[in-house]
Structure 1
Amino acid sequence: MDIRVQGSGPTAPFLSARDLFETEHDLARPVHVRLRDDPDERTWAGHYDDRHVLNISRQAASSAMARELALHEFAHMARHEQEHPSHTQSTEEVLYLALAGKSVERRKLSHCYQIANHMKDIYADDITLAVGPGEKLLSYLESSLAAAVADRPDTPLRPGLQRLSASADPEITAVNAAFALALGERHDLIDDHHRLYDLAHAAAQDAPDVDFEGFKRRFRELAREPDSSSYRQVLVDATRSYVDGASGGEMAAD
Protein backbone atom coordinates (compact mmCIF):
# COMPACT_ATOMS: atom_id res chain seq x y z
CA MET A 1 0.00 0.00 0.00
CA ASP A 2 1.65 3.18 -1.24
CA ILE A 3 1.17 6.35 0.86
CA ARG A 4 2.51 9.74 -0.19
CA VAL A 5 2.10 12.62 2.31
CA GLN A 6 1.96 16.01 0.58
CA GLY A 7 2.73 19.08 2.67
CA SER A 8 4.52 19.60 5.96
CA GLY A 9 3.10 17.79 8.95
CA PRO A 10 3.10 14.49 10.80
CA THR A 11 3.40 11.25 8.86
CA ALA A 12 3.37 8.74 11.74
CA PRO A 13 -0.46 8.50 12.08
CA PHE A 14 -0.86 7.59 8.42
CA LEU A 15 1.91 5.00 8.48
CA SER A 16 0.49 3.50 11.68
CA ALA A 17 -2.99 3.36 10.14
CA ARG A 18 -1.51 1.72 7.04
CA ASP A 19 0.17 -0.95 9.17
CA LEU A 20 -3.14 -1.79 10.87
CA PHE A 21 -5.07 -1.72 7.61
CA GLU A 22 -2.62 -4.05 5.87
CA THR A 23 -3.19 -6.81 8.42
CA GLU A 24 -6.44 -7.61 6.57
CA HIS A 25 -6.68 -5.45 3.43
CA ASP A 26 -4.75 -3.66 0.71
CA LEU A 27 -5.40 -0.94 -1.85
CA ALA A 28 -4.59 -1.23 -5.53
CA ARG A 29 -4.20 2.52 -5.98
CA PRO A 30 -1.76 4.78 -4.08
CA VAL A 31 -3.01 7.13 -1.38
CA HIS A 32 -2.03 10.80 -1.57
CA VAL A 33 -2.45 12.51 1.81
CA ARG A 34 -3.10 16.25 1.48
CA LEU A 35 -2.53 18.21 4.68
CA ARG A 36 -4.73 21.30 4.69
CA ASP A 37 -4.15 24.56 6.58
CA ASP A 38 -7.82 25.13 7.46
CA PRO A 39 -8.38 23.65 10.95
CA ASP A 40 -12.09 23.28 10.17
CA GLU A 41 -11.43 21.24 7.02
CA ARG A 42 -13.26 17.96 7.47
CA THR A 43 -11.47 14.71 6.74
CA TRP A 44 -12.65 13.18 3.49
CA ALA A 45 -11.49 10.90 0.71
CA GLY A 46 -11.52 11.49 -3.04
CA HIS A 47 -11.30 8.69 -5.57
CA TYR A 48 -9.66 8.91 -9.01
CA ASP A 49 -8.62 6.46 -11.70
CA ASP A 50 -4.97 6.49 -10.63
CA ARG A 51 -5.10 7.35 -6.89
CA HIS A 52 -7.10 8.01 -3.76
CA VAL A 53 -6.74 11.33 -1.97
CA LEU A 54 -7.07 11.72 1.80
CA ASN A 55 -7.78 15.35 2.67
CA ILE A 56 -7.16 16.26 6.31
CA SER A 57 -6.31 19.42 8.24
CA ARG A 58 -2.94 19.67 9.93
CA GLN A 59 -4.79 20.11 13.21
CA ALA A 60 -6.68 16.85 12.75
CA ALA A 61 -3.50 15.11 11.59
CA SER A 62 -1.86 16.10 14.88
CA SER A 63 -4.82 15.10 17.06
CA ALA A 64 -5.29 11.97 19.16
CA MET A 65 -7.79 10.74 16.55
CA ALA A 66 -5.44 11.07 13.56
CA ARG A 67 -4.69 7.36 13.15
CA GLU A 68 -8.36 6.40 13.53
CA LEU A 69 -9.46 9.08 11.03
CA ALA A 70 -6.93 7.82 8.49
CA LEU A 71 -7.90 4.19 9.05
CA HIS A 72 -11.58 5.07 8.54
CA GLU A 73 -10.81 6.80 5.23
CA PHE A 74 -8.64 3.88 4.08
CA ALA A 75 -11.69 1.68 4.70
CA HIS A 76 -13.80 3.95 2.48
CA MET A 77 -11.14 3.62 -0.21
CA ALA A 78 -11.29 -0.15 0.07
CA ARG A 79 -15.08 -0.16 -0.27
CA HIS A 80 -14.75 2.06 -3.32
CA GLU A 81 -12.26 -0.32 -4.96
CA GLN A 82 -14.54 -3.26 -4.10
CA GLU A 83 -17.40 -1.42 -5.86
CA HIS A 84 -19.50 -2.05 -2.78
CA PRO A 85 -23.12 -0.93 -3.35
CA SER A 86 -22.92 1.51 -0.45
CA HIS A 87 -20.14 3.35 -2.25
CA THR A 88 -21.45 3.11 -5.82
CA GLN A 89 -25.13 3.84 -5.29
CA SER A 90 -26.09 7.36 -6.35
CA THR A 91 -27.80 9.23 -3.50
CA GLU A 92 -29.48 11.48 -6.04
CA GLU A 93 -31.08 8.43 -7.68
CA VAL A 94 -32.37 7.24 -4.30
CA LEU A 95 -33.85 10.65 -3.52
CA TYR A 96 -35.61 10.68 -6.88
CA LEU A 97 -37.08 7.22 -6.27
CA ALA A 98 -38.04 7.91 -2.66
CA LEU A 99 -39.39 11.44 -2.96
CA ALA A 100 -40.86 11.69 -6.45
CA GLY A 101 -43.92 13.94 -6.38
CA LYS A 102 -43.16 15.27 -2.91
CA SER A 103 -42.02 18.73 -1.88
CA VAL A 104 -39.40 18.56 0.84
CA GLU A 105 -37.52 21.20 2.80
CA ARG A 106 -33.92 21.73 1.77
CA ARG A 107 -32.94 21.03 5.38
CA LYS A 108 -34.56 17.59 5.22
CA LEU A 109 -32.86 16.84 1.91
CA SER A 110 -29.46 17.54 3.46
CA HIS A 111 -30.41 15.17 6.28
CA CYS A 112 -31.18 12.46 3.71
CA TYR A 113 -27.64 12.79 2.38
CA GLN A 114 -26.39 12.37 5.94
CA ILE A 115 -28.43 9.18 6.34
CA ALA A 116 -26.83 7.80 3.17
CA ASN A 117 -23.40 8.77 4.52
CA HIS A 118 -24.16 6.95 7.77
CA MET A 119 -24.81 3.78 5.78
CA LYS A 120 -21.52 4.25 3.94
CA ASP A 121 -19.81 4.70 7.30
CA ILE A 122 -21.34 1.50 8.67
CA TYR A 123 -19.78 -0.47 5.82
CA ALA A 124 -16.45 1.36 6.07
CA ASP A 125 -16.31 0.76 9.81
CA ASP A 126 -17.01 -2.94 9.34
CA ILE A 127 -13.45 -2.84 7.98
CA THR A 128 -12.10 -0.25 10.43
CA LEU A 129 -13.27 -2.15 13.50
CA ALA A 130 -12.09 -5.49 12.15
CA VAL A 131 -8.47 -4.29 12.06
CA GLY A 132 -8.29 -1.71 14.85
CA PRO A 133 -9.66 -0.98 18.33
CA GLY A 134 -12.96 0.86 18.69
CA GLU A 135 -12.50 2.74 21.97
CA LYS A 136 -11.45 6.08 20.46
CA LEU A 137 -14.20 5.94 17.83
CA LEU A 138 -16.79 5.21 20.50
CA SER A 139 -15.55 8.08 22.66
CA TYR A 140 -15.70 10.39 19.66
CA LEU A 141 -19.30 9.41 18.89
CA GLU A 142 -20.25 9.83 22.54
CA SER A 143 -18.77 13.31 22.84
CA SER A 144 -20.27 14.41 19.51
CA LEU A 145 -23.72 13.22 20.55
CA ALA A 146 -23.43 14.85 23.98
CA ALA A 147 -22.64 18.18 22.30
CA ALA A 148 -25.58 17.89 19.90
CA VAL A 149 -28.40 16.83 22.21
CA ALA A 150 -30.97 19.64 22.23
CA ASP A 151 -31.79 21.51 25.45
CA ARG A 152 -35.15 20.22 26.68
CA PRO A 153 -35.41 20.74 30.44
CA ASP A 154 -38.59 18.64 30.66
CA THR A 155 -36.73 15.49 29.54
CA PRO A 156 -35.06 13.88 32.59
CA LEU A 157 -31.46 12.73 32.36
CA ARG A 158 -29.42 10.56 34.65
CA PRO A 159 -27.32 12.60 37.14
CA GLY A 160 -24.08 13.71 35.56
CA LEU A 161 -25.53 14.21 32.07
CA GLN A 162 -26.05 17.67 30.64
CA ARG A 163 -27.44 18.90 27.35
CA LEU A 164 -24.84 21.15 25.85
CA SER A 165 -26.47 22.65 22.77
CA ALA A 166 -29.91 23.99 21.93
CA SER A 167 -28.99 24.74 18.32
CA ALA A 168 -28.56 21.22 16.92
CA ASP A 169 -31.45 20.00 14.78
CA PRO A 170 -33.22 17.46 17.03
CA GLU A 171 -34.48 15.30 14.15
CA ILE A 172 -31.13 14.53 12.55
CA THR A 173 -29.56 14.38 16.03
CA ALA A 174 -31.93 11.48 16.79
CA VAL A 175 -30.81 9.73 13.59
CA ASN A 176 -27.17 10.37 14.50
CA ALA A 177 -27.83 8.84 17.92
CA ALA A 178 -29.39 5.78 16.26
CA PHE A 179 -26.29 5.45 14.08
CA ALA A 180 -23.91 5.69 17.04
CA LEU A 181 -25.78 3.04 19.01
CA ALA A 182 -26.17 0.79 15.97
CA LEU A 183 -22.45 0.88 15.26
CA GLY A 184 -21.64 0.10 18.87
CA GLU A 185 -24.11 -2.78 19.02
CA ARG A 186 -23.11 -4.16 15.60
CA HIS A 187 -19.54 -4.56 16.81
CA ASP A 188 -20.23 -5.38 20.49
CA LEU A 189 -18.48 -2.21 21.66
CA ILE A 190 -21.00 -1.23 24.35
CA ASP A 191 -22.79 -2.84 27.27
CA ASP A 192 -26.35 -2.17 28.42
CA HIS A 193 -25.27 0.61 30.79
CA HIS A 194 -23.13 2.63 28.41
CA ARG A 195 -23.65 6.40 28.53
CA LEU A 196 -24.58 6.41 24.84
CA TYR A 197 -27.94 4.88 25.76
CA ASP A 198 -28.82 7.81 28.03
CA LEU A 199 -27.77 10.35 25.42
CA ALA A 200 -29.64 8.52 22.67
CA HIS A 201 -32.77 8.30 24.82
CA ALA A 202 -32.68 12.08 25.29
CA ALA A 203 -32.14 12.64 21.57
CA ALA A 204 -35.04 10.33 20.68
CA GLN A 205 -37.39 12.11 23.10
CA ASP A 206 -36.45 15.44 21.55
CA ALA A 207 -37.60 14.17 18.11
CA PRO A 208 -40.74 12.05 18.70
CA ASP A 209 -41.66 11.99 14.99
CA VAL A 210 -38.39 10.25 14.08
CA ASP A 211 -38.51 6.45 14.18
CA PHE A 212 -35.42 6.16 16.36
CA GLU A 213 -35.69 2.42 16.98
CA GLY A 214 -36.36 1.82 13.30
CA PHE A 215 -33.24 3.71 12.26
CA LYS A 216 -31.12 1.97 14.87
CA ARG A 217 -32.34 -1.37 13.57
CA ARG A 218 -31.72 -0.38 9.94
CA PHE A 219 -28.16 0.71 10.62
CA ARG A 220 -27.31 -2.20 12.91
CA GLU A 221 -28.76 -4.90 10.66
CA LEU A 222 -27.45 -3.73 7.30
CA ALA A 223 -26.59 -6.86 5.31
CA ARG A 224 -22.85 -7.45 5.25
CA GLU A 225 -22.76 -8.09 1.49
CA PRO A 226 -25.91 -6.62 -0.08
CA ASP A 227 -26.59 -6.64 -3.79
CA SER A 228 -27.23 -3.33 -5.51
CA SER A 229 -31.00 -3.73 -5.64
CA SER A 230 -31.48 -4.63 -1.98
CA TYR A 231 -29.17 -1.87 -0.82
CA ARG A 232 -31.01 0.69 -2.96
CA GLN A 233 -34.34 -0.41 -1.45
CA VAL A 234 -33.03 -0.12 2.12
CA LEU A 235 -31.86 3.43 1.42
CA VAL A 236 -35.14 4.34 -0.29
CA ASP A 237 -37.11 3.02 2.69
CA ALA A 238 -34.92 4.92 5.16
CA THR A 239 -35.32 8.14 3.18
CA ARG A 240 -39.09 7.83 3.08
CA SER A 241 -39.26 6.96 6.76
CA TYR A 242 -37.23 10.03 7.71
CA VAL A 243 -39.01 12.53 5.49
CA ASP A 244 -42.53 11.26 6.25
CA GLY A 245 -41.91 10.87 9.97
CA ALA A 246 -39.96 14.06 10.53
CA SER A 247 -42.67 15.97 8.67
CA GLY A 248 -45.41 14.54 10.87
CA GLY A 249 -46.95 12.94 7.80
CA GLU A 250 -47.12 16.23 5.85
CA MET A 251 -44.60 17.30 3.24
CA ALA A 252 -43.22 20.75 3.80
CA ALA A 253 -42.78 23.21 0.97
CA ASP A 254 -39.28 23.61 -0.38
Structure 2
Amino acid sequence: MTEEEQIRRAGPLTYRGRAIPTTTTDQRLLDRRGPTDWVHTDPWRVLRIQSEFVEGFGLLSELPSAVSVFGSARIEPGTRYYNLGVEVGRKLAEAGYATITGGGPGMMEAANKGAQERDGRSVGLGIELPFEQSLNPYVDVGMTFRYFFVRKTMFVKYAQAFVVLPGGFGTLDELFEAITLVQTRKVTRFPVVLVGSDFWGGLRDWIEGALLENGLIKSEDMDLVQQVDDPAEVVELIRRVHKDLERKNGQDS
Protein backbone atom coordinates (compact mmCIF):
# COMPACT_ATOMS: atom_id res chain seq x y z
CA MET A 1 0.00 0.00 0.00
CA THR A 2 1.47 3.37 -1.03
CA GLU A 3 1.61 6.37 1.27
CA GLU A 4 -1.28 7.97 -0.60
CA GLU A 5 -3.44 4.86 -0.18
CA GLN A 6 -2.95 4.59 3.59
CA ILE A 7 -5.94 5.67 5.66
CA ARG A 8 -6.51 6.19 9.40
CA ARG A 9 -9.93 6.94 10.87
CA ALA A 10 -10.15 8.48 14.35
CA GLY A 11 -13.76 8.92 15.37
CA PRO A 12 -15.32 11.20 12.75
CA LEU A 13 -11.88 12.23 11.40
CA THR A 14 -10.07 10.71 8.41
CA TYR A 15 -6.30 10.98 7.79
CA ARG A 16 -4.44 9.89 4.65
CA GLY A 17 -0.80 9.43 3.72
CA ARG A 18 1.68 11.71 5.48
CA ALA A 19 -1.09 13.30 7.57
CA ILE A 20 -1.62 10.07 9.54
CA PRO A 21 -0.54 10.58 13.19
CA THR A 22 2.25 8.35 14.48
CA THR A 23 0.23 7.48 17.61
CA THR A 24 -3.42 6.75 18.37
CA THR A 25 -5.67 8.86 20.57
CA ASP A 26 -5.61 6.19 23.31
CA GLN A 27 -1.80 6.13 23.24
CA ARG A 28 -1.60 9.88 23.69
CA LEU A 29 -4.10 9.77 26.54
CA LEU A 30 -2.28 7.01 28.45
CA ASP A 31 1.31 8.10 27.78
CA ARG A 32 2.64 10.13 30.72
CA ARG A 33 5.99 10.83 29.11
CA GLY A 34 6.81 14.07 27.37
CA PRO A 35 6.64 17.78 28.21
CA THR A 36 4.38 19.14 30.92
CA ASP A 37 2.20 21.06 28.46
CA TRP A 38 0.22 17.81 28.10
CA VAL A 39 -1.28 18.67 31.49
CA HIS A 40 -2.92 21.73 30.00
CA THR A 41 -4.49 19.76 27.13
CA ASP A 42 -6.20 17.13 29.31
CA PRO A 43 -9.31 19.26 29.98
CA TRP A 44 -9.87 19.38 26.23
CA ARG A 45 -9.56 15.60 26.09
CA VAL A 46 -12.36 15.39 28.65
CA LEU A 47 -14.63 17.24 26.23
CA ARG A 48 -13.68 14.86 23.42
CA ILE A 49 -14.36 11.86 25.68
CA GLN A 50 -17.68 13.40 26.65
CA SER A 51 -18.61 13.85 23.00
CA GLU A 52 -17.96 10.16 22.33
CA PHE A 53 -20.28 9.18 25.15
CA VAL A 54 -22.96 11.53 23.85
CA GLU A 55 -22.65 10.23 20.28
CA GLY A 56 -22.65 6.60 21.45
CA PHE A 57 -25.67 7.04 23.69
CA GLY A 58 -27.51 8.82 20.89
CA LEU A 59 -26.72 6.08 18.39
CA LEU A 60 -27.71 3.15 20.59
CA SER A 61 -30.41 4.44 22.93
CA GLU A 62 -33.29 3.29 20.73
CA LEU A 63 -31.95 -0.18 20.02
CA PRO A 64 -34.25 -3.12 20.73
CA SER A 65 -33.01 -5.80 23.14
CA ALA A 66 -29.43 -6.46 22.08
CA VAL A 67 -26.62 -8.97 22.53
CA SER A 68 -22.92 -8.07 22.32
CA VAL A 69 -20.96 -10.66 20.33
CA PHE A 70 -17.17 -10.89 20.63
CA GLY A 71 -14.67 -12.87 18.58
CA SER A 72 -11.42 -12.78 16.62
CA ALA A 73 -10.82 -10.45 13.69
CA ARG A 74 -8.45 -13.05 12.20
CA ILE A 75 -10.93 -15.80 11.35
CA GLU A 76 -11.30 -16.14 7.58
CA PRO A 77 -14.67 -16.27 5.78
CA GLY A 78 -15.84 -19.75 4.88
CA THR A 79 -14.08 -21.45 7.80
CA ARG A 80 -15.92 -23.50 10.43
CA TYR A 81 -15.73 -20.82 13.10
CA TYR A 82 -16.78 -18.05 10.69
CA ASN A 83 -19.84 -20.07 9.69
CA LEU A 84 -20.58 -20.60 13.37
CA GLY A 85 -20.55 -16.83 13.87
CA VAL A 86 -22.92 -16.31 10.94
CA GLU A 87 -25.37 -18.79 12.41
CA VAL A 88 -25.20 -17.13 15.83
CA GLY A 89 -26.07 -13.78 14.23
CA ARG A 90 -28.97 -15.38 12.38
CA LYS A 91 -30.41 -16.99 15.49
CA LEU A 92 -30.16 -13.77 17.49
CA ALA A 93 -31.97 -11.85 14.74
CA GLU A 94 -34.70 -14.50 14.47
CA ALA A 95 -35.22 -14.16 18.22
CA GLY A 96 -35.62 -10.39 17.94
CA TYR A 97 -32.23 -9.35 19.33
CA ALA A 98 -29.99 -6.70 17.80
CA THR A 99 -26.40 -7.88 17.32
CA ILE A 100 -23.61 -5.58 18.54
CA THR A 101 -20.01 -6.37 17.53
CA GLY A 102 -16.71 -4.56 17.33
CA GLY A 103 -17.52 -3.95 13.69
CA GLY A 104 -14.33 -5.49 12.31
CA PRO A 105 -13.62 -8.53 10.12
CA GLY A 106 -13.53 -12.18 11.13
CA MET A 107 -16.01 -13.33 13.75
CA MET A 108 -17.42 -9.82 14.13
CA GLU A 109 -18.19 -9.69 10.42
CA ALA A 110 -19.71 -13.16 10.60
CA ALA A 111 -22.15 -12.23 13.37
CA ASN A 112 -23.10 -8.97 11.63
CA LYS A 113 -23.62 -10.87 8.37
CA GLY A 114 -25.92 -13.42 10.00
CA ALA A 115 -27.96 -10.67 11.67
CA GLN A 116 -28.31 -8.73 8.42
CA GLU A 117 -29.35 -11.83 6.49
CA ARG A 118 -32.31 -12.28 8.84
CA ASP A 119 -33.24 -8.57 8.79
CA GLY A 120 -31.99 -8.08 12.34
CA ARG A 121 -30.39 -4.87 13.57
CA SER A 122 -26.67 -5.16 12.88
CA VAL A 123 -24.45 -2.78 14.88
CA GLY A 124 -20.69 -2.24 14.71
CA LEU A 125 -18.65 -0.33 17.31
CA GLY A 126 -15.21 0.15 15.82
CA ILE A 127 -12.02 1.52 17.37
CA GLU A 128 -9.15 3.67 16.11
CA LEU A 129 -6.11 1.42 15.60
CA PRO A 130 -2.52 2.03 14.39
CA PHE A 131 -3.52 0.19 11.20
CA GLU A 132 -6.68 0.77 9.20
CA GLN A 133 -9.65 -1.44 10.06
CA SER A 134 -12.89 -0.09 8.64
CA LEU A 135 -16.33 -1.31 9.67
CA ASN A 136 -17.31 -4.48 7.87
CA PRO A 137 -19.91 -4.25 5.06
CA TYR A 138 -22.62 -6.01 7.11
CA VAL A 139 -22.90 -3.21 9.70
CA ASP A 140 -26.17 -1.26 9.35
CA VAL A 141 -25.46 1.18 12.19
CA GLY A 142 -21.92 1.93 13.25
CA MET A 143 -19.54 4.25 15.05
CA THR A 144 -15.75 4.37 15.30
CA PHE A 145 -14.46 5.31 18.75
CA ARG A 146 -11.18 6.90 19.78
CA TYR A 147 -11.19 5.52 23.33
CA PHE A 148 -11.45 1.86 24.30
CA PHE A 149 -13.14 2.55 27.63
CA VAL A 150 -15.95 4.55 25.99
CA ARG A 151 -16.51 1.76 23.49
CA LYS A 152 -16.56 -0.86 26.25
CA THR A 153 -19.22 1.10 28.09
CA MET A 154 -21.44 0.90 25.00
CA PHE A 155 -20.97 -2.86 24.74
CA VAL A 156 -22.14 -3.28 28.33
CA LYS A 157 -24.82 -0.60 28.63
CA TYR A 158 -26.91 -1.69 25.65
CA ALA A 159 -26.58 -5.48 25.86
CA GLN A 160 -28.77 -8.01 27.64
CA ALA A 161 -26.17 -10.75 27.17
CA PHE A 162 -22.60 -11.39 26.02
CA VAL A 163 -21.87 -14.09 23.47
CA VAL A 164 -18.20 -14.99 23.11
CA LEU A 165 -16.99 -16.72 19.95
CA PRO A 166 -13.43 -18.02 19.41
CA GLY A 167 -10.90 -15.21 19.67
CA GLY A 168 -7.55 -14.01 20.96
CA PHE A 169 -6.35 -11.47 23.53
CA GLY A 170 -8.99 -8.86 22.70
CA THR A 171 -11.77 -11.41 23.05
CA LEU A 172 -10.33 -12.67 26.34
CA ASP A 173 -10.19 -9.08 27.59
CA GLU A 174 -13.89 -8.60 26.84
CA LEU A 175 -14.77 -11.99 28.32
CA PHE A 176 -13.04 -11.50 31.67
CA GLU A 177 -14.23 -7.93 31.99
CA ALA A 178 -17.80 -9.15 31.49
CA ILE A 179 -17.35 -11.90 34.08
CA THR A 180 -15.86 -9.44 36.57
CA LEU A 181 -18.72 -6.96 36.11
CA VAL A 182 -21.27 -9.68 36.74
CA GLN A 183 -19.33 -11.22 39.65
CA THR A 184 -18.97 -7.86 41.41
CA ARG A 185 -22.58 -6.93 40.58
CA LYS A 186 -21.55 -3.81 38.74
CA VAL A 187 -24.10 -4.88 36.14
CA THR A 188 -27.35 -6.76 36.56
CA ARG A 189 -26.62 -10.45 36.33
CA PHE A 190 -27.01 -11.52 32.72
CA PRO A 191 -25.73 -14.45 30.70
CA VAL A 192 -22.17 -14.73 29.41
CA VAL A 193 -22.11 -17.50 26.82
CA LEU A 194 -19.05 -19.22 25.37
CA VAL A 195 -19.74 -20.80 21.97
CA GLY A 196 -17.58 -23.80 20.99
CA SER A 197 -16.59 -26.29 23.66
CA ASP A 198 -13.66 -27.53 21.56
CA PHE A 199 -12.19 -24.03 21.70
CA TRP A 200 -13.19 -22.89 25.20
CA GLY A 201 -13.15 -26.22 27.07
CA GLY A 202 -9.46 -25.96 27.99
CA LEU A 203 -9.94 -22.49 29.44
CA ARG A 204 -12.82 -23.62 31.62
CA ASP A 205 -10.75 -26.59 32.81
CA TRP A 206 -7.90 -24.22 33.73
CA ILE A 207 -10.25 -21.87 35.60
CA GLU A 208 -11.65 -24.79 37.58
CA GLY A 209 -8.28 -26.41 38.23
CA ALA A 210 -6.17 -23.32 38.94
CA LEU A 211 -8.60 -20.73 40.28
CA LEU A 212 -11.37 -22.71 41.95
CA GLU A 213 -9.15 -25.38 43.50
CA ASN A 214 -6.86 -22.70 44.98
CA GLY A 215 -9.78 -20.78 46.45
CA LEU A 216 -9.31 -17.78 44.16
CA ILE A 217 -12.94 -17.90 43.06
CA LYS A 218 -16.06 -19.42 44.62
CA SER A 219 -17.80 -22.51 43.27
CA GLU A 220 -20.84 -20.43 42.26
CA ASP A 221 -18.57 -18.24 40.11
CA MET A 222 -18.28 -21.15 37.69
CA ASP A 223 -21.95 -20.58 36.88
CA LEU A 224 -21.27 -17.03 35.68
CA VAL A 225 -20.26 -18.42 32.28
CA GLN A 226 -22.21 -20.97 30.27
CA GLN A 227 -20.76 -23.04 27.43
CA VAL A 228 -22.71 -24.24 24.39
CA ASP A 229 -22.04 -25.57 20.91
CA ASP A 230 -25.33 -25.12 19.07
CA PRO A 231 -26.22 -21.51 18.09
CA ALA A 232 -29.86 -22.30 18.87
CA GLU A 233 -28.77 -23.06 22.46
CA VAL A 234 -27.37 -19.52 22.71
CA VAL A 235 -30.82 -17.99 22.28
CA GLU A 236 -32.50 -20.59 24.50
CA LEU A 237 -30.03 -19.93 27.30
CA ILE A 238 -30.37 -16.13 27.06
CA ARG A 239 -34.17 -16.36 27.12
CA ARG A 240 -34.12 -18.77 30.06
CA VAL A 241 -31.88 -16.54 32.14
CA HIS A 242 -34.00 -13.48 31.37
CA LYS A 243 -37.19 -15.32 32.35
CA ASP A 244 -35.58 -16.44 35.62
CA LEU A 245 -34.55 -12.84 36.34
CA GLU A 246 -38.04 -11.54 35.58
CA ARG A 247 -39.56 -14.15 37.87
CA LYS A 248 -37.08 -13.33 40.65
CA ASN A 249 -37.64 -9.58 40.30
CA GLY A 250 -41.40 -10.15 40.45
CA GLN A 251 -41.05 -12.13 43.67
CA ASP A 252 -38.75 -9.50 45.21
CA SER A 253 -41.20 -6.71 44.45
TM-score (norm 1): 0.34
More helix by share: 1
More strand by share: 2
